[in-house]
Structure 1
Amino acid sequence: MAQYIVGTTDAYTKLIVNTSASITGSYPNLGFKVNYSFQIRLTAQGSWYYNNCTFNFNGNKHNINLGFAFGSGGGTTGVLASGSQTYGWGARTTKHEPGFQFTSGGFSGSGKCVEQLTIPGTATLSAYMNGTTHNSATINLTRGNNPYNYWYVRIYNTTAYLYKNDAPNGNNVISGLNAGTDYTFNVELWGRDGARMNSSYVQLKTRTSGISYLTGHNAAYIRDKTFKFTFTSYDDSFTHAWSVRTKSNMNKVWASGNGVKTSGKAGSVTVNFTTAQMNEMYALIPSAMQLDLIVYLDTYSGSTYIGSSTAMTVPFKIHSTYDAPTLSGFSYKDMHPNSIVKTENNQWIIQNVSYLQIYSMLGTAKNGASISKYQLNVSDQVISGTGTSLTTTTITKQTQMVLTVIDSRGLQSQYTKTYTKWIPYKPPVVSLFNMLRINVVEESTYLVTNGTFDRLNINGVDKNPNLTLRFRYKLTTASTWGGWVQQAITISGSSFSYNNIVGLFDTDKNYDVQLEIGDFFGATYALTQLLKAQPELSIRENQVGIGAVPNASINAALQVNGNITQNGQMVIGYRIIRTWED
């Protein structure tokens, strides 16, 4: 609703015309209708009455009789007349504001109707920064779908300066900005009727004017003595000076150059170092895998200095293969005195006897590093150390000897060696060991044993021909063993045996018995038990014992220890009979 004031010849009288407009029909129909309505109000002092007033609305006249009177008190407002006009035209994308004229008596007036439209679509807006230069920014816009461009976008900055009044969808370039400056752009969606419908904002910072900037570098290794970096400029006429320094010591300049230009605003520089510089770099990182270099790039326009790019770090790396330590060999020897006596060669290894010493380890660190340690893998053992030799425990498995050298950077190399001669050997094996009483019940007792052993044939010579047999015993209830008793053992090839009486053992006592079978390198032990005599059947002259040894002092041909039963029923046995007296 808008108000329009119509002047009169009377200073105390004002005629106020109120108008409004609304759409009937909808886009995108051709020839849609706009239905305008109006009201005329009169504010006056005194009584007024007008007939045959003319309201000229968009070229169409309406004759209106105004018959409205007010009291002389003044200050009253009333509706004098109202009407409507329907006007049609084709589909359009521009705003239309129909006008009107009003005449009555000695005064007249004119005004406009403002459209109040209902537009299809959604009033949405999104905006984002899509790139900057030193003096421009690109803002990408997307607004709600409407085929008649009813909505439009305004772009402001924070100081309300209008950059674009009707920005289209897509990229919008904002130029004339200051270099190296922070900007916040307000992006607002407006309707053609003057209503702000949505808003957004974009924040950005322009680049420093004209300064070229570093864009990247290739993978760089110290051993190659070179690397390449790239950069982008704003003008191919610009020249550039560069320098390479150490991040940990910015005063150290390794290389530099000047007068470098770009082609198509893209440039690159290949940096080369001398062998002396390479060795100096290696020495700076004896325990690290890279030396961080810093590249600086300065931009000039003629002789005028424009500025310096943000510095770029280039990791100048240690190569895990070429910079690793070398290991050209090592020596080993058997350290067990007994095995060396038999083999007469410390390069021959006897299984389960020999143990090794590794020495003369020929590791060399490279390019500023130092040897940290050696590590040996052999026979399921892993031994490491920082000294000049490594010593193992007994070698039980035939494996290769793998020696690893590790440097101060954690890089490593290996060397593998095989024994000159491997001699299988195992200690004697006891297959049988028993203690047996004569007739099961006598004090006289046999020791019975047999087994196998390795003869250790070395170059056709029997190096392990002899065995020893010892035993000792104690009462099962005792805690201390008796002394060892040695016996002669019978050897046949790689087998041994023994079956002889070794003593008298009380028939009513239990004994623990330990056996030792020894060869040149050591011994094997076995344990058994001799139980007290408990025969199932025993025979003595003119006497038979069941479950016991017959007692010669008892005049009985059959002596039974226990009851005699038949089919589960006791035939002969002890019976206790109790008697009572009154």
Structure 2
Amino acid sequence: MATWKSAAYDGRYLQLDISESVNVVGNSSTLSWTLTSTGGASTYYTIDTTTVTINGTTVYSKDRTYWDDRVFPAKKGSVSGTITVAHNSNGSKTIAVGFSTRVYIYGSQEYGGSMTLTTIDRSAPTVTFSTSNVTANGFKISATSSATADIWQYSTNGGSSWTQFSTTASTSASVTLSSLSPNTSYTVRVRARRQYNHVYGTSGSSTVKTLGGAVVNSVNTVTADNATVSITINVTVYEASYTNTLVLKNGSTTILTISGLSWSKGTANRTVTLTSAQRTTLLNAMASIKSFIGTFAVSSYSGSTQIGSTSSKTATVLTTATNSAPTISGFTYADSYTTTKNLTGNDQLFVQNYSTLKVTPGTATAKNGASISNYTASCNGLSASNSTGSAITVGKIAKSGSVTVTLTVTDSRGYTAETSQTVTVIPYTKPKISSITLRRTNDIEAEMQLKFSGSISAVNVDGTQKNNVVYVRYRYKKTSESSYGSYTSIYSGTTKSGTSFSYSNLELCNLDANSSYDLHLQIQDKLYSLSSLDLYFTVPQGTPLIALRKKKVGINTPEPQAMLDVAGDMRVDGSPLADFVIQQGTSGIWNYRKWKSGTAECWGQYSFTTAISTAWGVLYESGAIALPNFPFTFAEIPHVHISTENSNYAMFVERGSSSSWSTTTNPGKIFAVRPNTVPSATYKVSIYAIGKV
């Protein structure tokens, strides 16, 4: 940090402080400056024109300020800022600092000087390299740097152009070139950028010549499951006396190695035909895949010595569904659910939604080294599978009529074969009731009356209707109890005709008229509990027209809650009663009433304390004042009226934007408005709301 001070007057002086933050990569410094006015017996002194200049840039300037201006720099305090200064190319930099001012006396004086900044290291790294693994199409470059470098580039034309090969920060990097021309000399150089300061260092040059082994240009797609498998590969041969070896890989796994291939000099398509054993080896290697991207690598040899590096290209090796898809002999099917089989008497028929379809696969055969991996049976959106070929339980068929069942087998490559059959699904729904009445005699007696009629689904097999009603029964309990009693059968009293049934009994049973009961009616056909129709009813206690209780009279209610308790609408002199209050009370600040017609109203007074200081035209307003929620929720936004209450202040309220408006649960928000500002005061408003509930 550097500091400059002005001359003092009566203890008052100005001080300039500058600190430095270095940006090595940018070859610059950020200077943080602070100008302080301090000292003296008084807070305020007249200060003549004050100017601060850093490296030729004026960062602060203020005309003469008098003590009674009471602003900086006449007033004690400080100002500050920053400025970025670029260093010289060698990293050094000295700047001029101008600082002119004067306390009290006219005529500013200069107190600045110079400041030498931190020297930034701009030295370049020392870069060297070596080459290895020379092939017909390239070689490996291994480079080192005397300092950590984060950008590495090479040139094969002596530095005329550069190619970036690494951005990994390190003191070494390497790259393998693979697209150069065979039998060609290249002038190689490497340069690297020092991570610390982004300065490049460049190596010397070295000449490297590529080798002349055979070069693979392209490979045609290979169909591995053809009867005769051939590999067509386009190769440039530089020396016909060399022998060549072709290796086929899938990733890093070698599948085939074919040696002793002799090819004429020049560029041409070369055809390699696989033996039967080689074809089998290839297909076995593809037992779980349809295809892969194979690497076809050619190495050239003079005797047992490899010439140059191996050259390779990729191509697709594939099988086809025509040659390799599996076969399936068929399947059998059956209804495996005992109850539905007993109903139809034939496991080749199915009852809609209830029979369970089971499929047993026939013989499946995989080809060309694959194996069967999955058997899937499907029907009407259902499917189930296994990998063993054992019987498959598909599930219940939701569709009726002629429905298709399909068996699909999948081999280890993913090829499939399928076969389908049509099964018969008999339409079926569980028993249904078309009408039912359950009531107390005269609605008040203990005696119970039950009438109902309904039908079951016909299950026709070879012209014979197999389905019947087998259970009609009921049970009951008091509503207050947790468990039902035993079933009572009414099967014998039920009239059954074809698929229809009916029942009528005006003296079913007696249930205490002073209690409420739950009654469970159950009807089952030959699928029994699978498709049971279970109906549940609540029988209320008997309701007399007039109930006399101690000091109370109930009309259409057995337990009056007031001196006169009427359940239902009322009429006076032949006309309905217009409206009347059905509920009223208080909640929080609110009084409220609810009317029989569905109208409700609430009203109350709310006090709040707030400051009114925000200008609104010629008036002033408070912040938003949230009002308390209504005592109930309206069915729609009610009409709300808000007015001011008794107060010692002139004040009115306003709503503001739509976000402040009423909702079904809250009157919204208000703003208190006055013609003058008030730091804080207490106000009271009256709120009235009316609407539907």
Report the TM range for the smaller structure's normalisation.
Answer: 0.5 to 0.7
**Cα deviation, residue 520, structure 1:** 0.5
Query: 1:10-31 CA deviation, whole Å, 9 max, x = no partner?
Result: xxxxxxxxxxxxxxxxxxxxxx
2:474 pairs with 1:465: no
Please tell me whether the aligned partners of residues 219 and 313 of structure 2 are also in contact (alpha carbons under 8 angstroms): no
2:409 pairs with 1:400: no
**Cα deviation, residue 407, structure 1:** 2.5
Aligned to 1:533: 542
2-structure distance, mates of 1:266, 1:321: 34
Match of 1:524 among 512, 522, 533: 533
What secondary structure, in the 3-state scheme, does the structure 1 residue paired with 2:406 have? strand
Larger radius of gyration: 1
**Cα deviation, residue 208, structure 1:** 3.0
2:491 pairs with 1:482: no
2-structure distance, mates of 1:383, 1:528: 41
**Cα deviation, residue 307, structure 1:** 4.7
Distance 1:395 1:250, change over 3 A: closer
State the percentage of identical aligned residues. Answer: 27
2:243 pairs with 1:241: yes
2-structure distance, mates of 1:239, 1:532: 112
Aligned to 2:454: 451
Aligned to 1:212: 214
Aligned AA for 2:269? S
**Cα deviation, residue 214, structure 1:** 0.8
2:366 pairs with 1:362: no
What secondary structure, in the 3-state scheme, does the structure 1 residue paired with 2:323 have? coil
Please tell me whether the aligned partners of residues 433 and 526 of structure 1 are also in contact (alpha carbons under 8 angstroms): no
**Cα deviation, residue 530, structure 1:** 1.2
**Cα deviation, residue 381, structure 1:** 2.3
**Cα deviation, residue 477, structure 1:** 0.8
1-structure distance, mates of 2:248, 2:364: 31
2:450 pairs with 1:438: no
Query: 1:57-108 CA deviation, whole Å, 9 max, x = no partner?
Result: xxxxxxxxxxxxxxxxxxxxxxxxxxxxxxxxxxxxxxxxxxxxxxxxxxxx
**Cα deviation, residue 232, structure 1:** 2.2
Give runs of aligned pairs for residues 103-122 of structure 1, distance below 5 A: none
Please tell me whether the aligned partners of residues 223 and 318 of structure 1 are also in contact (alpha carbons under 8 angstroms): yes
Aligned to 1:193: none
2-structure distance, mates of 1:509, 1:250: 84
2:489 pairs with 1:494: no
Distance 1:277 1:462, change over 3 A: same
What secondary structure, in the 3-state scheme, does the structure 1 residue paired with 2:347 have? coil
Aligned AA for 1:528? F
Aligned AA for 1:438? T
Please tell me whether the aligned partners of residues 349 and 422 of structure 1 are also in contact (alpha carbons under 8 angstroms): yes
2-structure distance, mates of 1:564, 1:206: 115
What secondary structure, in the 3-state scheme, does the structure 2 residue paired with 1:532 have? coil
1-structure distance, mates of 2:342, 2:238: 85
1-structure distance, mates of 2:404, 2:315: 43
2-structure distance, mates of 1:518, 1:277: 69
2:518 pairs with 1:512: yes
1-structure distance, mates of 2:382, 2:370: 28
Structure 2 stretches lacking a partner, 5+ long:
1-134, 138-155, 161-180, 191-202, 548-553, 559-563, 578-693
Aligned to 2:187: 183
Tell me the number of residue pairs that the alignment of Structure 1 and Structure 2 aligns. 369
Distance 1:205 1:296, change over 3 A: farther
**Cα deviation, residue 370, structure 1:** 2.0
Aligned AA for 2:543? Q
Distance 1:472 1:269, change over 3 A: same
Please tell me whether the aligned partners of residues 467 and 526 of structure 2 are also in contact (alpha carbons under 8 angstroms): yes
Aligned to 2:652: none
2-structure distance, mates of 1:353, 1:513: 28
**Cα deviation, residue 385, structure 1:** 2.0
Aligned to 2:687: none
Distance 1:178 1:280, change over 3 A: closer
2:275 pairs with 1:274: yes
What secondary structure, in the 3-state scheme, does the structure 2 residue paired with 1:339 have? helix
1-structure distance, mates of 2:223, 2:565: 97
What secondary structure, in the 3-state scheme, does the structure 2 residue paired with 1:260 have? coil
1-structure distance, mates of 2:425, 2:157: 88
Query: 1:286-307 CA deviation, whole Å, 9 max, x = no partner?
Result: 324447464424277x999965
Please tell me whether the aligned partners of residues 299 and 308 of structure 1 are also in contact (alpha carbons under 8 angstroms): no
Match of 2:413 among 406, 409, 412: 409
**Cα deviation, residue 521, structure 1:** 0.7
Give runs of aligned pairs for residues 91-490 of structure 1, distance below 5 A: 179=183, 181-184=185-188, 208-224=210-226, 225-234=229-238, 238-239=240-241, 241-247=243-249, 254-262=257-265, 265-290=266-291, 292=294, 294-298=296-300, 307=308, 309-320=310-321, 322-387=323-388, 388-398=390-400, 399-419=403-423, 421-487=424-490, 488-490=493-495
**Cα deviation, residue 525, structure 1:** 1.0
2-structure distance, mates of 1:498, 1:328: 55
Query: 1:531-563 CA deviation, whole Å, 9 max, x = no partner?
Result: 11114489xxxxxx97489xxxxxxxxxx9969
Aligned AA for 1:350? V
What secondary structure, in the 3-state scheme, does the structure 2 residue paired with 1:247 have? strand
Distance 1:274 1:533, change over 3 A: same
Please tell me whether the aligned partners of residues 222 and 316 of structure 1 are also in contact (alpha carbons under 8 angstroms): yes
**Cα deviation, residue 157, structure 1:** 7.1
2-structure distance, mates of 1:283, 1:303: 31
1-structure distance, mates of 2:442, 2:299: 108
**Cα deviation, residue 429, structure 1:** 1.1
2-structure distance, mates of 1:246, 1:470: 78
Distance 1:519 1:205, change over 3 A: farther
1-structure distance, mates of 2:509, 2:237: 108
Please tell me whether the aligned partners of residues 220 and 316 of structure 1 are also in contact (alpha carbons under 8 angstroms): yes
**Cα deviation, residue 463, structure 1:** 0.5
2-structure distance, mates of 1:318, 1:178: 35
Please tell me whether the aligned partners of residues 180 and 205 of structure 1 are also in contact (alpha carbons under 8 angstroms): no
What is the RMSD of the two structures over their aligned residues, measured on CA atoms?
4.4
Aligned to 1:503: 509
Please tell me whether the aligned partners of residues 214 and 298 of structure 2 are also in contact (alpha carbons under 8 angstroms): no
Query: 1:98-139 CA deviation, whole Å, 9 max, x = no partner?
Result: xxxxxxxxxxxxxxxxxxxxxxxxxxxxxxxxxxx989xxxx
**Cα deviation, residue 468, structure 1:** 2.5
What secondary structure, in the 3-state scheme, does the structure 2 residue paired with 1:505 have? coil
Higher relative contact order (CA 8 A, sep 6+): 1
Distance 1:481 1:304, change over 3 A: closer
Distance 1:211 1:258, change over 3 A: same
2-structure distance, mates of 1:290, 1:548: 83
Aligned AA for 2:406? V
Query: 1:306-362 CA deviation, whole Å, 9 max, x = no partner?
Result: 656524455533335532333332211111112222333211111122102211343
Query: 1:467-492 CA deviation, whole Å, 9 max, x = no partner?
Result: 43111111111101011111131123
**Cα deviation, residue 219, structure 1:** 0.9
**Stretch moving more, 451-460 or 248-257:** 248-257
Distance 1:364 1:250, change over 3 A: closer
2-structure distance, mates of 1:205, 1:434: 107
Distance 1:299 1:180, change over 3 A: farther
Distance 1:509 1:244, change over 3 A: same
TM-score with structure 2 length normalisation?
0.46
2-structure distance, mates of 1:439, 1:157: 112
